[in-house]
Structure 1
Amino acid sequence: MKRLKLFLLVGLIVGSSSCQKYLDIVPDNIATIDYAFRMRSTAEKYLFTCYSFLPRSGNMYADPGLFGGDELWLSTDKSWWANWQVALGTQNINNPLLDYWNGYNNSTALWQAISQCNIFLENLDKVPDIDFMEREQWRSEVKFLKAYYHFYLLRMYGPIPIVDKNLPISASGEAVRVFRKPVQEVFDYVVSTMDGAAQDLPLEVRDENAELGRITRPIALTMKAKVLMYAASPLFNNNTEYSSFKNKDGQALFDLDGQNQTKWESAVKACEDAIALCREAGYDLFEFELTQQTRNISEETRIQLNNRGTLTERWNKEIIWANTLSNTRELQVWSAPRVLERSNMGNSEPNGSIGVTMKIAELFYTKNGVPIDEDITYPYTDRFSIRTAESQDRFKIKEGYTTAVLNFDRESRFYGSLGFDGGIWYGNGRYDDTNPHYLQIKSEQIGGKEGVGWHSVTGYYAKKYINISNTSQNTSTYTSINWPWVMLRLSDLYLLYAEALNEVSGPNDKSFEYIDLVRSKAGLKGVKAAWTDFSKNPNKFNSKEGLRSIIQRERMIEMALEGERFWDLRRWKLAPEILNSPIYGWDVDQSSSASYYRRKLLFSQKFGLKDYFWPIRESDIVVNKNLVQNPGW
């Protein structure tokens, strides 16, 4: 009989004890497939095993979207972080970083995950003591997971094999040497599989205590919409840069039939279906609700918390899918500045070692809702000079504190997402916004650089990750609210819809409606009003190209620090333009304002054609002669 072997990462096994019930997995001593499917209880454990392979989104070391791009930056003593090495340009074919093909170097073995899903689907009908509806729901959940794992590999590696069924033990050596499939064929497979799964998925989980994170119909339709957005985007839609990328038998791996407009139309329809279903299920944009503790805060602070709370308020009404395999305590510990409450530096207490790049600080709009280099009222050329905060700045910057002009007169998401020298940090022990924490992080100040690594090397902190209820009880105890990493949320879907609509028909009322819904949550005027009143280019939104640029920036701001920018820059084919540029921060070694607020070069980042897709490990190419390596590797 077939042996059941589960090679689960130690991190997943250890982490599962604190997650939802459904993360229990099949015990290692289960001997056979037949035993695993002999009754409902053991089959359910196999179902949970299929979930256990979900990539560890939000993990500091395993998520390429966090440190693989240009949003977050570290001090040089963190060079052992595999995903940051991607950003530093040390990816290679001998021992690939974050090798999701095989499961090496802080990754998950996704081909093994797909194999486990196939085993489950092949054997589910053997289970005797399960009712029909539950059986079909389980089948649909695993179908979706299998499709999602294929999509994750497709997004990372480009054209991949399709493994819809496991090969029998008796298969010949040649049969197991699979070919890569054209990208459109893989997209079609992923979409059709998600479609098939959606039919028998529930609108919502029945038992929130035990099932949050399980796949529902809104998750399936929203992820399908995102998959179709990738299929329609320039990286995959008639990308002539890959015209010579072919299998060894000559099969082209990228379609080159001209920009296929029907792909955008399919994405529009999928977004509309997902939005309608999400509304039926009660999803809505997150609005921070006042509590007894926060009842007296200003409207300015509340709007900032709309941004911060969207991630950190567990299972709020905007979250469509969150990964309960993820544990964000460590991310919060390493992102929180020490200055909030003086604490010992270490791996388990706030150490402030994760910095946000100046490129991201400059990305956010002005208070008028347009880019800082477009706003006719903003002193863009003087942004690196210094200015002293006044009373009207008090909910954003400590009154009387001197900081960079760059930190003044910005939109609420800037202040909700970033901490900086002199910046207000609401919550975390202080809930009166007339007497909040504020950061003092120049050298020799309470939160300034100590040692090589216990500080933000850029001078900006990822406030967006920190739940406002986290507290330091004393110098050695940090209490944090662990929130599951958000995989899909409504603002994400709205901006995808606006993007697809613009690609189909250019500027249109629906695109503006859905962008403006997201902007309204941030306290901003709509696109038309903001650009007409404050932009140097007041007609920008009237062309498809101009509105495309606006939507892309809106998306990069709204989804900042959530791992989406890494993938979006690739699918838009903007990575060479944006990632071939320096990484800057403030000069955090300095103690005076005049010296600290000098832009300091940290790294000169490079991006070439080969960096769009991960390399396949060289040894895999040697074993399977039918596999071709990605271009450039």
Structure 2
Amino acid sequence: MKLFKYIITGVLGMQLLTSCVDYLDKESDTELTLPMVFEDKTRTEGWLANVYSHVPDPYWGYARKLGWDILSDDMTASERWRQWDWKVIPMLLGEWTPSTDWDGNYWSRLPQLIREANIFIENVHPLPDQGISATEVTYMKAEMRFMIAYYYYLLSNTYGPVPFKPNYIAPTDFNLADLMEGQRPYYEVVDWVDKELKEVAEILPAKYTEARKYGRATSIMCLAVRARMLLFAASPLVNGNPDYANHKNKDGENLFSTTADKTKWAYAAQACKELIDAAEAAGHKLYTEKNDDGTIDPFMSYQNLFLTRYDEGNTEILFARPGGSEYGEYEKHATPAASGGSGGLGVTQSLVDAFFMENGLPINDDNSEYVETGYSVSDETRDNTVWDTEVNGGAISKKNTYNMYCHREPRFYITVSYNNSYFTQEKREFNFFNGSADNPHTHDAPQNGYLIRKKISPDLNVKQGTYKYRPGIVYRLGEAYLNYAEALNESDPGNGDILVYLNKIRERAGIRQYTTGATDDNFIHVDLNDQAEMRKLIRAERRVELSCEGIRYDDLRRWKEAENVLNGDFYGMNFSGKDNSSFYVRTPYLKRVYKKAYYWFPIHQSEIDKNDKLVQSPYWN
């Protein structure tokens, strides 16, 4: 038998897939053969774990390595961090070419992992004397089928059409030319992934009882990936987009749909409902914490949704990253420099403006009671939460807070650290004025007067390197509800389920729900049959509920809104202001550039140079 010379470096998963080692191809100075790997339980499980290694990290991955939150209009990083090789920052400024490197590295890495998964499926077999049963092998093969489908989804979601040969394993003595493939149409990949995920969902369990399998593929994860993919596939970017009418592969095939198909929205809605029904049947539900009177505490619920493990009762999680996430780096960069952090990871002014008021209305509504200027005359407290007293220094917002930040909905306070908000770790208020401890006016300072608070533990201590473990949530039930509401509104306007699932999110958020009846203290009237109005409401809810979770960038892309929203000046408070009058001024801090080409990542020029069967992504030539 030929020696297996493929070297992998990754995760060896014996306990929750968390033990990091270099899994090399050497033992006793001999090269490992495939039988040597698959006759050994430890090596077999190490191979399996390595295939999981590129599941995105929802903390540092979304912020820096993949950059989804920075590329959107949710989060912002100090522009001067580019000197520490933040590759995503030049991309914001329009300094993006087919030769630009990207830390996500999907084009080169994911096909390698797909190949490893195929090899695993072909070679794994029961090892009963070592504790790997035939049933376990069936599950592991299904897991690898899930990972192959998931990685093809990530590739197609990033690049659009990609080379696609499912189940193919190159022979050991291959010629390089044998691997040179051109792209297949976008929907060919989507249709295959859809079918594969449905089949695998019939094999895998909805959940595992063994703690060591936390994060391993389940039927619910299959349905979650499928539902999100089909929502994207129904959207205007890829469903009949005339911009791509002439984008063809080298064989002359159209690589994108040239005719809009409304049935794709109905199919996406069906997939979302199948996910919801299966998830709820398996015990998943929105995460809530209750007050003594049994009502939902919206502040503690939304805060701890991102800090609470599945085994602690957070069954809203549908898909968690196996192993750990780099939340320490995330929290460090959201902590002021004087407090041991790097202090420049913030949120945009447009996100601040997107949150609703306490009464559930957007700030631009005539009845919202929003006041932008001036300052509060007393501490603000609320009677539906313990968050103010247990976490936030005794108040929702402190006296002398800029009115822009007063009487906003609970999710705002959990997501944004603003000037004069409470800094839990040091039991004081933030001071972002120029020259203060929290703004040394360097690259390690909030460039627009805000830091990210969402997914930050109140128990962290950066100076001591103390970080509390929390799950890396890739998919959650709250997103599934909003996906379903959107797909229904596009396929079946007026369907009553639209409000049912939109209101589930608003109920947990602690703001007035929508009704087709009259507006009162508990409800806001909407016209359910007005598709355009409902589309606006659903998108507004997605913006705040799912902010800083790696979803907004794809939303702007699939709606074909990115070239409008992500172009031009981005605003915040005045980084150079030293007092109230000079700091609280809407001030541009970054000029973004977003070209039509940016909807898809370019294929790196080095790949184009190697493979003459490839065509560059649209508008990149």
Q: TM-score, normalised by structure 2?
A: 0.89
Q: What are the equivalent positions in structure 2 for 1:171-190 lying under 5 Å apart?
A: 171-190=174-193
Structure 1 spans left out of the alignment, 5+ residues:
104-108, 344-348, 430-435
1:570 to 557, 572, 575: 557
Q: CA deviation at 1:486?
A: 0.9
Q: What are the equivalent positions in structure 2 for 1:224-623 lying under 5 Å apart?
A: 224-257=226-259, 259-288=260-289, 302-315=297-310, 316-323=314-321, 324-337=323-336, 343=339, 349-379=340-370, 383=372, 385-392=373-380, 395=388, 398-403=397-402, 405-425=403-423, 427-428=424-425, 437-445=428-436, 447-471=437-461, 476-528=463-515, 532=519, 539=526, 541-623=528-610
The C-alpha deviation readout for 1:81-128, integer Å capped at 9, x for no partner, is 11233222222112332352445xxxxx11111111111112124867
| Percentage of matched positions with identical amino acids | 27
Q: CA deviation at 1:27?
A: 3.5
Q: CA deviation at 1:22?
A: 7.1
Change in CA separation of 1:149 and 1:22 when aligned onto 2, cut-off 3 Å: farther
Q: Which residue in the other structure is 1:65 paired with?
A: 68
Q: Which residue in the other structure is 2:150 paired with?
A: 148
Q: What are the equivalent positions in structure 2 for 1:159-238 lying under 5 Å apart?
A: 159-164=161-166, 165-208=168-211, 210-238=212-240
User: Is residue 628 of structure 1 aligned with residue 619 of structure 2?
Assistant: no
Q: What CA distance in whole angstroms lies between the structure 2 residues aligned with 1:627 and 1:67?
A: 29
Change in CA separation of 1:572 and 1:232 when aligned onto 2, cut-off 3 Å: same
Letter in 1 for 2:54: F
Q: CA deviation at 1:529?
A: 7.0
Q: CA deviation at 1:240?
A: 1.3
Q: CA deviation at 1:179?
A: 1.4
Q: What CA distance in whole angstroms lies between the structure 2 residues aligned with 1:326 and 1:254?
A: 35
Q: CA deviation at 1:23?
A: 6.1
Q: Which residue in the other structure is 2:96 paired with?
A: 91
The C-alpha deviation readout for 1:351-377, integer Å capped at 9, x for no partner, is 422111111101111112122112424
Please state whether the residue corresponding to 1:66 is helix, strand or coil. helix
Segment of structure 1 superposing worse, 605-614 or 173-182: 173-182
Measured on the aligned residues, the alpha-carbon RMSD in Å equals: 2.8
Q: What CA distance in whole angstroms lies between the structure 1 residues aligned with 2:279 and 2:335?
A: 33
The C-alpha deviation readout for 1:296-349, integer Å capped at 9, x for no partner, is 9x989x4222222111223322111111342211101111346xxx63xxxxx3
Change in CA separation of 1:529 and 1:467 when aligned onto 2, cut-off 3 Å: farther
Q: What CA distance in whole angstroms lies between the structure 1 residues aligned with 2:516 and 2:450?
A: 31
Q: CA deviation at 1:478?
A: 3.8
Structure 2 spans left out of the alignment, 5+ residues:
383-387, 389-394
Report if the CA contact (8 A) 2:357-2:368 is conserved: no
Q: What CA distance in whole angstroms lies between the structure 1 residues aligned with 2:518 and 2:26?
A: 64
Letter in 1 for 2:116: Q
Please state whether the residue corresponding to 1:464 is helix, strand or coil. coil
Please state whether the residue corresponding to 1:190 is helix, strand or coil. helix
Change in CA separation of 1:28 and 1:437 when aligned onto 2, cut-off 3 Å: farther
Report if the CA contact (8 A) 1:393-1:399 is conserved: no
Q: What CA distance in whole angstroms lies between the structure 1 residues aligned with 2:538 and 2:114?
A: 35
Q: What CA distance in whole angstroms lies between the structure 1 residues aligned with 2:326 and 2:155?
A: 23
Q: CA deviation at 1:422?
A: 1.6
Report if the CA contact (8 A) 2:13-2:45 is conserved: no
Q: What CA distance in whole angstroms lies between the structure 1 residues aligned with 2:107 and 2:265?
A: 33
Letter in 2 for 1:228: L
Change in CA separation of 1:308 and 1:6 when aligned onto 2, cut-off 3 Å: farther
Change in CA separation of 1:76 and 1:530 when aligned onto 2, cut-off 3 Å: farther
- State how many pairs are aligned: 592
Q: What CA distance in whole angstroms lies between the structure 1 residues aligned with 2:406 and 2:175?
A: 67
Change in CA separation of 1:540 and 1:573 when aligned onto 2, cut-off 3 Å: farther
Q: What CA distance in whole angstroms lies between the structure 2 residues aligned with 1:374 and 1:454?
A: 36
Report if the CA contact (8 A) 1:25-1:48 is conserved: no
Q: What CA distance in whole angstroms lies between the structure 1 residues aligned with 2:324 and 2:379?
A: 44
Segment of structure 1 superposing worse, 146-155 or 218-227: 218-227
